[in-house]
A and B are shown apart, each in its own frame.
Chain A
Amino acid sequence: MNTLDGSLSMLRNPAIIKFILQGVLFTLIISVAAVLFSIVIGTVLALMRNYCTGKQTGVLKALSVIYIEVFRNTPLLFWIFICVVFCPAPGFVDRQMFGLSSVNNKLLFKAAVALILYTSGVIAEIVRGGLNSVSHGQIEAGQSQGFSMLQIMWYIVLPQTFRAIVPTLLSQVITTIKDSSFLANVAVIELMARTKQVLSAANRYNGLNSINVSDVFVLFGLAATIYFVINFSISMTVRNLQKRKMSVKVKKTLALEERRQTGWAYNG
């Protein structure tokens, strides 16, 4: 039997395909959960960095600046290694679930914490970009209406911020899906780790008793295709969103121009 046929026969093995597809599912769940948690933490950090400028609250700003800069300037793998050693795992992950042993679940939890901590730093900067795009007049207007600072943020500033940063956040999902492959370094069960596991046992499945180059091409090719399909469809969505946003912007400017020309009072 030809080595390529042997490698391709692995793709017809339902056990392997199921194993890999479960890995895809874990990759997606880990990444989406990481982004969602990071949005919460990142928003808090961004608000602290932007608006805690008073004398008493300055310390909060300093804390968030340190957090953001430290996490943005050190590798993700560094935090994964640290969390695997130092992060405490709560009791509820210390048991069998999702078809994984309790050891694997603890590892998954710790590595996911590292991913969340790291992504929060990045998302904080994205949210800050969005906050800066909301004009300061909005805050003053809110104050003049008797809103408290919290209310201004919740009802006026944050809704506009998030509308502005949806495309950037979606791009961050792509980055996080790619980053989640770093968890393979500590043998968490996502796509990349599972592909490596199958490769290291390929001699048992391809019927040739040896691992060949074609196995590498077939297995990593499969994983790369899966990553590509997921990420490319997200990036297409991002591009469409941006295009639509641009055309709305152009329409708005055109409408303004028209109003100005037709003698409409415009004080902007």
Chain B
Amino acid sequence: MSGLFSPRAWNKIWIYRGTFLLGLTNTLKTAVVALLIALLLGIIFGLMATSNRKILKSISRVYVEVIQNTPVLLQMCFLYYALAFSGHSPGIIVTGFLALGIYTGAYMAEVIRAGIESVPKGQFEAAQSQGFGYAGQMFYIIIPQSIKVILPPMTNVIVNMIKNTSCLYIVGGADLLSLTYSFVTGENTGGSYAPAYIVCGVIFFLICFPLSSFASMWETSLKKRDQKVFQNGTPKEA
């Protein structure tokens, strides 16, 4: 264990704490912008998947299947090299925004589609019969009901996205994990493997653990409530 108990190694981490902070900022920045792109794509393709037009449905299907069945690393490399070799190098962080946004967008689309489909069809018809347009129907009737089904899996998708920011390593890396790696392998800073990885791992854990436990707690309570409704035999939304 290189330097797990050596005060010198830990001291080195403290001196170079800026590296870790920079990595953390980059990771969070990438995650937030990618999340916005992913939400936008997810809402667009999720709504397309639940629309009645066959062509819109199939476009959304193709997007989701192609993106979900290829590795995010490959998409990121593809985007980076394709842009770099055609002379518009976008920079590492922007590659991260785009690649992670597009990849996560496919998962968001699936989550949103499942959420909307969880609302009984009669609700759509009822809304239409009351004269709601498409936007009003979605905004006032469907989304308030599906949001509780959508949120837990969406949180899991976000956790995975935060973990996936480490993919940036392959295109040059400016995120937390890549900077940790270059810290421990660097000429001047190298050697203190164990302390550096512990710091990096703890940061990731502190960000992801609250999110994922929130998601699983919410999911359990949803299931319990459903069971109660089912056992009483009087479903709330009848």
- A residues with CB within 8 A of B: 69-70, 72-78, 81-82, 85-86, 174, 177-179, 181-182, 184-185, 192, 195-196, 199, 211-213, 215-217, 220, 223-224, 227-228, 231-232, 235
Interface residues of B in 73-90 (CB under 8 A from A): 73-75, 77-78, 81-82, 85-86
Q: What is the size, in residues, of chain B's interface with A at 8 Å between Cβ atoms?
A: 39
**Given the complex of chains A and B, what is the CA–CA distance between A178 and B78 in angstroms?**
15
Interface residues of B in 166-200 (CB under 8 A from A): 166-167, 169-170, 177, 180-181, 193, 197, 200
**Given the complex of chains A and B, what is the CA–CA distance between A181 and B164 in angstroms?**
12
**Given the complex of chains A and B, what is the CA–CA distance between A177 and B73 in angstroms?**
12
Let me know if B209 and A227 touch, CB within 8 A: no
**Given the complex of chains A and B, what is the CA–CA distance between A251 and B173 in angstroms?**
53
Let me know if A228 and B85 touch, CB within 8 A: no
Q: Is B57 an interface residue (CB 8 A)?
A: no
Let me know if A211 and B85 touch, CB within 8 A: yes
Let me know if A78 and B177 touch, CB within 8 A: yes
**11 extra interchain contacts, Cβ-Cβ under 8 A, other than A74-B204, A75-B204, A82-B197?**
A69-B209, A69-B213, A72-B212, A85-B2, A182-B167, A184-B73, A184-B170, A199-B81, A224-B74, A227-B74, A231-B68
Let me know if A178 and B71 touch, CB within 8 A: yes
- State which of A77, A174, A192, A215 has its C-beta within 8 Å of the C-beta of B177: A77
A-B interface contact total, Cβ < 8 Å: 107
Q: Please classify the interface of chain B as helix (H, G, I), strand (E, B), loop, or mixed, using the class held by over half of its residues.
A: helix
| A69, A76, A182, A223 interface centre (most CB from chain B within 10 Å) | A182
**Given the complex of chains A and B, what is the CA–CA distance between A174 and B67 in angstroms?**
13
A174 and B197 in contact, given A192-B74, A216-B78, A220-B78 (Cβ under 8 angstroms): no
Let me know if B169 and A185 touch, CB within 8 A: yes
Kindly list chain B residues whose C-beta atoms are within 8 Å of the C-beta of A184: 73, 170
**Given the complex of chains A and B, what is the CA–CA distance between A223 and B75 in angstroms?**
10
Let me know if A73 and B69 touch, CB within 8 A: no
| B2, B69, B77, B197 interface centre (most CB from chain A within 10 Å) | B69
A73 and B177 in contact, given A184-B170, A185-B170, A192-B73 (Cβ under 8 angstroms): no
A232 and B65 in contact, given A73-B159, A73-B205, A216-B85 (Cβ under 8 angstroms): yes
**Given the complex of chains A and B, what is the CA–CA distance between A162 and B193 in angstroms?**
40
Let me know if A182 and B73 touch, CB within 8 A: yes
